[in-house]
A and B are shown apart, each in its own frame.
Chain A
């Protein structure tokens, strides 16, 4: 990753234009050719410096539901439980954390009922208690990572 890659990442953290030639607009801002921008973006996505490029939808504003859920997984069962939890398409993210509550996943579903239904299935398949912790209030979502 060189200086231009960093500049691209910092520039593209929001406000990508809805226009016939959006990459052209960004390339002009960065003072590079459109082809070079496209090539670099492709590489940054391929090597996973970027996990995604495109619109970020807010599922709650679209009528869907989100929830953060935690499980205390016995260490000897960690892999098995990971496979079970990850097999649900409703599980959008799943992180291992250093704590007795060591598995934290985010459910993204189209209704509140599906959150409960999915957690119920996860409890049945794993035999472990799911701690469902949907947000009660949001105080802040943001922070731009400086590359």
Chain B
């Protein structure tokens, strides 16, 4: 990432302007040619430095009010296989291996589950229990109670 990429990121990280020629507006702000801006963004997209360009819905507003972080204790030597199977389920949005903190935190596999209500999430949990079978030696569901902050990535301006 060079200074120009960084300038582009800081100019667009809070969103694209809602005008007919959004990239031209940003290019003008940055004092560069629109072609250069589009080219740089295209490259970042290809390198997956930009995951995607689009809308981020507020899942609460869309009716997905039951959002549980499910955490599972599975053997370390099985985690890759089990994590891939869990991540392949349609209702899982994020699936990661994370470190344990023994004894108070024994869980190493995290999966975000989403449903329209807790009953729907509970059904999905049953599917995961069946999937993990004997390899699971414990799990918990951490329902979100409220969003305390949500700003996303904020890079500082280049100095």
A91 touches B149 (CB 8 A): yes
B126 at the interface (CB under 8 A from A): no
Minimum distance in angstroms from B155 CB to a CB of chain A: 7
Q: How far is the CB of B87 from chain A (nearest CB, A)?
A: 3
Q: Are A136 and B98 in contact (CB under 8 A)?
A: yes
B residues lining the A interface (CB < 8 Å) = 1, 5, 9, 12-16, 18-24, 34, 38, 41-42, 44-45, 47-59, 61-62, 64, 69, 79-80, 83-84, 86-88, 90-99, 101, 105, 110, 114, 140, 142-156
A20 at the interface (CB under 8 A from B): yes
B97 touches A95 (CB 8 A): no
Instruction: Determine the chain B residues whose CB is within 8 A of the CB of A86 once the complex forms.
Output: 148-149
A13 to B147, CA, bound (A): 21
* Cβ-defined contact, B55 with A13, below 8 A: yes
- Flag if A142 contacts B48 (CB, 8 Å): no
Main secondary structure of the interface of A (DSSP, over half): mixed
Chain A residues bordering chain B, tally (CB within 8 A):
75
A94 close to B (CB within 8 Å): yes
Pairwise interchain contact A141-B146, C-beta atoms closer than 8 A: no
In the docked arrangement, what's the CA distance between A95 and B91, Å?
20
Judging by beta carbons under 8 Å apart, are A93 and B55 in contact?
A: no
Q: Do residues B99 and A134 form an inter-chain contact, with CB atoms below 8 A?
A: yes
Query: From A135, which residue of chain B is reached at the shortest CB distance?
Result: B96
Q: Mark A1-36, 1 if CB is under 8 A from B, else 0.
A: 100000011001111101111111000000000100
Q: B148 to A82, Cβ gap below 8 A?
A: yes
Q: Once bound together, how far apart are the Cα atoms of A145 and B112, in whole Å?
A: 13
Partner of B69, one of A41, A64, A104: A104
A49-99 at interface with B (beta carbon < 8 Å):
49-59, 61-64, 68, 70, 82, 85-86, 89, 91-99
